[in-house]
Chain A
Amino acid sequence: MTATSLTPKSPVRVRIRANRLILYTVLVAVTGLFLGPFGWLVLTGLKTPAELASAPVHWVPAHIQWHNFADAFDLIDFLGYARNSLIIAFVYAGLVTLSSAWVGYGFARLSAPGKKTLFGILIGSMMLPQMITLLPTYLIFAKLGMVDTYWPWVLWGLSSAPYLVFLFRQFFAGLPRELEEAAIVDGCGYGTIFWRIFLPQSWPVLSASFVIAFTWTWGDYIAPQLLLSTDRSTLAVAVMTTYVSSAGTPITNLQAAASVMYVVPILLIFLVAQRGFVAGMSTSGLK
């Protein structure tokens, strides 16, 4: 990027150089804009209430309040809510990954009359607005006494998720026919074929599916807000609603610190599982 280039500067070279400079400037600026809100959240979480209340903006905290993070952790039962979030995320993600693999296998490797219609409904249901089913679902679960339990997540998990079924179907459909032929000739049941041959092959999709389902549940605000009472509720709800003083005013700095602690695990999971996660996301809607 420096002007002290050793190569002779032909006009073309200069133009390419200028283009690259613009490209990098745009990229760095946009990346800065994209990271800005999160950076500001961290800064907000490190300030005092006084700094947040006074009018000209305090760009950086005068004295970094690291203890805000500890305070945010102690003010509410942070660990308890985190545990609740972990439980439903693990239960849902585990079950939905297995059930979606199971259903996906059916759509990929087996056939029966009505298959096309069923698959059409499955894909169509991906576009079904979830809110429309969620409010009546709440009323039904209330009647069945399942409000304030984790049963709804078990049931949702067992019934598979169209998006994940689609991922598994795409993956299983791409595996060679020879894989199951031998087993069929030997009279193996399809259940055995699925468990013993196909499932062990599908580690990339299994992990992508688990991560995707886990982040859905960890990030979900409405379902736990509707279905769970305070003690059993999740971190998403707690972070949003409980950082309020007795006078009813929000405790902004602690809420910011808490939301950093709420978001970071998801960012870490994403960074670790990045490859499979992105691959999973990008297969959707293609082909």
Chain B
Amino acid sequence: MTVDQMSTVADRPRATASAGRTRSAGRAGATMTARRHRAFYMFVAPWIVGFLLLTIVPMAYALWLSFTTFDGISPNWHYVGLGNYRELMNDSVTWDSLGRAGLFAVVSVPLSIVAGLGLAVLVNRPIRARGLFRTLLYLPAVVPPVGAGIAFKNLFDQNAGATNGVLTFFGFDAIGWLADPYARYVLIMTVLWGAGNIMIISLAGLQDVPRELHEAARIDGASAWRTFRSITVPLLSPVLLFQTVTGVIASVQTIMPMLLAPLATTGGLTTVPQSNYTYMIHVFSQYFALGRYGYASALLWVLFVLILIATGLIFRFTSGVVFYNVDPEAKK
């Protein structure tokens, strides 16, 4: 913008604001509004088109497939109506894997939130090398799943793993960590390893907590724990709610069991220990190992509906918590 353009604007700064009373100005305002509306749709179009083509269409396609016996190869697949869903209802493997996924979410999400929040409180104190601690604790959260999987596989290896090294050093027997029943604990530890992510987000929340509230509580003689429980946690609740919802969704979809399995290729799905055979692993084994696209699609749709219900329930039970602000004008 050039200087004389700026001065032109300064000469008639209220031109648009005061318009709207006279008829001609009203019409001008209307075309301005129409232009703004058109522009809005032009700007959000990439997302709308992408959402329709890359999300809605695939989901509709999966819904259709879930009523068929399509396997990708055989030409004579057919429509079976609710057949796949009926099978799913009677399949104990499906229910067991769903139970494991649910248990994994119920255990790992609260644990990682508590861990992340705990770390955030620690690195929020005025300590030396605070930035360094924050960075180092956050670092594992940046490690891609494949890196994390391989790192944990080596850490918990029966012979060469450091954990068994420590156990045997203290005279205990080595444990087959990557097999049943211990594999589930390793899976949970991979989640906790990434708690730095929750730490960073909680830290931002902690820094928004008004200092006066803490001071007032201290004057009233509240203990540190009491202050944390009654002031910090409630003020952080939107952050915690967000973490819970995204954490649950991520945990039921995790492919980490596959990456932790002894020979982790897609062909190695059968080597995933029972205790880590979660719902998503079940979907993948139906899909890759057995090529049952129809049945796998039914499994995915059931999962989608269950996630909707779960998030609905989470929001229901935590209602009254402001989640985000839709209206940008309301910020002012």
Partners in one complex: yes
Which among B59-67, B86-94, B226-234 touches the partner chain? B59-67
Residues of B within 8 Å of A150, CB to CB, are none
Q: Are A240 and B252 in contact (CB under 8 A)?
A: no
CA distance A208 to B49 in the complex (A): 25
Q: Digit string of B293-330 for contact with A (CB within 8 Å is 1, else 0)?
A: 10011001101100100010000000000001111100
Which among B77-85, B104-112, B241-249 touches the partner chain? B241-249
Residues of B within 8 Å of A282, CB to CB, are 200-201, 203-204
Q: Are B154 and A41 in contact (CB under 8 A)?
A: yes
Q: Digit string of A100-132 for contact with B (CB within 8 Å is 1, else 0)?
A: 001101111011110110111111011111111
Most A-side CB within 10 Å, residue of B53, B162, B164:
B162
Residues of A within 8 Å of B172, CB to CB, are none
Most B-side CB within 10 Å, residue of A27, A262, A270:
A27
Which among B176-184, B214-222, B257-265 touches the partner chain? B257-265
Most B-side CB within 10 Å, residue of A106, A186, A236, A255:
A106
Q: Are A40 and B151 in contact (CB under 8 A)?
A: yes
Residues of A within 8 Å of B147, CB to CB, are 41, 219, 239, 259, 262-263, 266
A44-61 residues with Cβ-Cβ distance < 8 A to B are 44, 47, 51-59
A259-283 residues with Cβ-Cβ distance < 8 A to B are 259, 262-263, 266-267, 270-271, 274, 278, 281-283
A10 at the interface (CB under 8 A from B): no
CA distance A252 to B156 in the complex (A): 13
Give the size category of B's interface with A. Answer: 35 or more
Contact residue among A20, A38, A129, A181 (Cβ-Cβ distance under 8 Å from B249): A129
Q: Digit string of B30-51 for contact with A (CB within 8 Å is 1, else 0)?
A: 0000001111111110111111
CA distance A113 to B59 in the complex (A): 27
Residues of A within 8 Å of B117, CB to CB, are none
B147-206 residues with Cβ-Cβ distance < 8 A to A are 147-152, 154-155, 157, 159-162, 164-165, 168, 174, 193, 196-197, 200-201, 203-205
Contact residue among B44, B53, B55 (Cβ-Cβ distance under 8 Å from A103): B44
Contact residue among B127, B196, B208, B301 (Cβ-Cβ distance under 8 Å from A23): B127
Residues of A within 8 Å of B296, CB to CB, are 135
* A287 with B324, Cβ < 8 A, contacts A127-B249, A221-B259, A239-B150 known: yes
Residues of B within 8 Å of A135, CB to CB, are 62, 283, 287, 293, 296-297, 300
CA distance A190 to B45 in the complex (A): 14
Q: Are A121 and B265 in contact (CB under 8 A)?
A: no
Contact residue among A27, A173, A250 (Cβ-Cβ distance under 8 Å from B122): A27
CA distance A278 to B301 in the complex (A): 34
A203 at the interface (CB under 8 A from B): no
Residues of B within 8 Å of A23, CB to CB, are 122, 125, 127
* A110 with B150, Cβ < 8 A, contacts A215-B142, A221-B145 known: no
Q: Are B155 and A218 in contact (CB under 8 A)?
A: no
* A221 with B146, Cβ < 8 A, contacts A52-B159, A132-B303 known: yes
Residues of A within 8 Å of B259, CB to CB, are 221, 240
Give the size category of A's interface with B. Answer: 35 or more
CA distance A134 to B39 in the complex (A): 31
CA distance A111 to B33 in the complex (A): 9
Contact residue among B59, B239, B301 (Cβ-Cβ distance under 8 Å from A286): B239
Residues of A within 8 Å of B164, CB to CB, are 57
Q: Are A240 and B238 in contact (CB under 8 A)?
A: no
A6 at the interface (CB under 8 A from B): no
CA distance A285 to B239 in the complex (A): 6
Q: Are B127 and A160 in contact (CB under 8 A)?
A: no
Q: Are B55 and A128 in contact (CB under 8 A)?
A: yes
A8 at the interface (CB under 8 A from B): no
Residues of A within 8 Å of B293, CB to CB, are 135, 139
Q: Are A107 and B246 in contact (CB under 8 A)?
A: no
B137 at the interface (CB under 8 A from A): yes
Q: Are A115 and B40 in contact (CB under 8 A)?
A: yes
Q: Are B159 and A185 in contact (CB under 8 A)?
A: no
Closest to B49 in A: A159
Residues of B within 8 Å of A120, CB to CB, are 326
CA distance A220 to B230 in the complex (A): 40
A36 at the interface (CB under 8 A from B): yes
A284 at the interface (CB under 8 A from B): yes
Q: Are B280 and A159 in contact (CB under 8 A)?
A: no
Q: Are B137 and A239 in contact (CB under 8 A)?
A: no
Q: Digit string of B270-297 for contact with A (CB within 8 Å is 1, else 0)?
A: 0000000000100100010000010011
10 contacts between A and B (CB under 8 A): A37-B155, A57-B161, A102-B46, A127-B246, A131-B283, A186-B8, A189-B39, A220-B144, A267-B143, A285-B239
Closest 4 CB pairs of A and B: A159-B50, A106-B43, A219-B144, A57-B165
Tell me the A residues contacting B by CB distance below 8 Å.
20, 23-24, 26-27, 30-31, 34-38, 40-41, 44, 47, 51-59, 99, 102-103, 105-108, 110-113, 115-116, 118-123, 125-137, 139-140, 155-156, 158-160, 162, 165, 169, 173-174, 181-186, 189-191, 194, 197, 215, 218-222, 225, 236, 239-241, 244, 248, 250, 252, 255-256, 259, 262-263, 266-267, 270-271, 274, 278, 281-287
With contacts A34-B136, A162-B47 known, what are 4 further pairs, Cβ within 8 A?
A: A26-B122, A102-B46, A116-B327, A236-B146
Tell me the B residues contacting A by CB distance below 8 Å.
1, 5-6, 8-9, 12-13, 15-16, 36-44, 46-51, 53-55, 57-59, 61-62, 65, 72, 119, 122-123, 125, 127, 133, 135-140, 142-152, 154-155, 157, 159-162, 164-165, 168, 174, 193, 196-197, 200-201, 203-205, 208, 238-239, 242-243, 245-246, 249, 252-253, 255, 259, 262-266, 280, 283, 287, 293, 296-297, 300-301, 303-304, 307, 311, 324-328, 331
